[in-house]
Structure 1
Amino acid sequence: MYELSNDHVSIVISSKGAELQSIYRKDTGIEYLWSGNPAFWGKKSPVLFPIVGGLKNNRYTFKGKEYAMGRHGFARDRVFTMSKQTDDAITFSLKSDDETKAIYPFDFIFSINYQLIAHQVKVSYQIENIGDEELYCSVGAHPAFAVPLLADTSFEDYYLQFEQKETAPIWPLSDEGLLLSTPTDFFLQEDTIALRKSLFYGDALVFKSLQSNSISILSDKHPHGIKVSYANFPFMGIWSTKDADFVCIEPWCGIADAVTTNGDLTTKEGIHPIAPKTMMNRSWAIEVF
């Protein structure tokens, strides 16, 4: 485990998956990340790479060859190398090897940087194509925030506040976690979602067309909360497992396969081509108050 701290906030990161394990505010003593109780969901903030969501039959094809890969890719289960640390930032890296190339035939270096800026945690992803052919990937975040934040409040005392009023549907998922062909009406010039456990009984709320660049978790019972800011993440998932005390706000640069997919990685929705010897960068941030 690695710890990073400033005058306001301390965070803990595991080398496995370069996954955040704690976001703690010093002046209030509030822990903002989910506990990781394995009775509900044993992760806290996994990174999603080189795909987001599930593949149809857990398979994809590239240049006529079929490969198998599980939901959200493999990075969250790999051990990263801590490659750089300063007073306010730390970087972890994962490089392709024979094991990754057996299921994902590309040469890459995937780096995750965590930086503390006052009460904010900035998370940056860099995918570098070190190979000689175009690389195809998606990347996404999956942080689980503790709801309720305070012991004398309940899950239903909280709501999600969107930056803008939204008119946007959600895309239902099949039992296999694939996107169905027809969206369902959800937002109609609204900017809040009242939290209730049953909201997630049908899996995640998946959005493709939000205008907001931030979503906050708030309560009218106290002034504390979380703001997740993101840009250049075209998809959003909001999720909790059944009856658990957390909510995930998930900025995605990728999305699950549709039930109608042909399985070709190069035409997969949300996939990003990266030219040889170039890189893709994305960042998002968590502010705690």
Structure 2
Amino acid sequence: MKTLGYYNGKYGELDEMSIPMNDRVCWFGDGVYDAGPARNGKIFAIDEHIDRFFNSAGLLDIVMPVTKPELKQLLQEMVDKMDDTELFVYYQVTRGTGIRNHAYTEGAGNLWIMIIPQVIGDCKEPIKLITQPDTRFLHCNIKTLNLIPSCVASEKAKKAGCQETVFYRPGNRVTECAHSNVSILKDGKFITAPTDNLILPGIARAHLIQACKKLEIPVSETPYTLEELFDADEIIVSSSSKLCLRACEIDGKPVGGKDAERMEKLRAAVIEEFESATAAQ
């Protein structure tokens, strides 16, 4: 199959799928999601993604309709049905189905899955960024479906000819991007925002930290500011679909390019890990 969707036990091509109007996602965006790449029939970092998915659901008191092993098996079965070998595997759970009411719907949630072709790429091409105040709520550690501020920010970046938006809070503290984590290299050190309630604990971010430890690059999980971002030796944007991107411009100003060797070692390390973990047998 070219695309594949799933909703509470029903399968089909994405444009053939439908959902009840009373699914709470329609009224409130009431749900959480997770996603990651697959290659050669292997879903990358699947256990880490599923753990984060269940954690997000638990933080919102959403009752999961499947266990972790059941979800893992279901995702693998769906990947095995696909024609393409490089895929994006997306899954979400909404709180349930019922007449619109702000109070929670009781019972297990609704499970959605979407699988489409997508290539990870080598992440060698640098990207351009813009900055914008972070107007999102204070539960950014939960991977919810409420993504309007991120959508607006992504559209602004697109119109500016850029690929991502960096968010910052009062005091100019950098948090993350519209749909990525952002970290910096400065004086040989990898600096990334702490995993508090202001950022999503990114899986790619965690793998970058692991790569730093293997490469003996010091890691500091501490807040940093916009001023420090602009002054960084290198700026790294990471997500499950773009594992390690280098930024070359922010708000029209050139940035980074001062620690190319260390930057390349990091990029090569995470790409090599991904390719090795998803190599054809």
| TM above 0.5 | no
TM-score range for the pair, normalised by the shorter chain length: under 0.3
More helix by proportion, 1 or 2? 2
TM-score between both structures, scaled by the size of structure 1: 0.24
TM-score between both structures, scaled by the size of structure 2: 0.25
Higher relative contact order (CA 8 A, sep 6+): 1
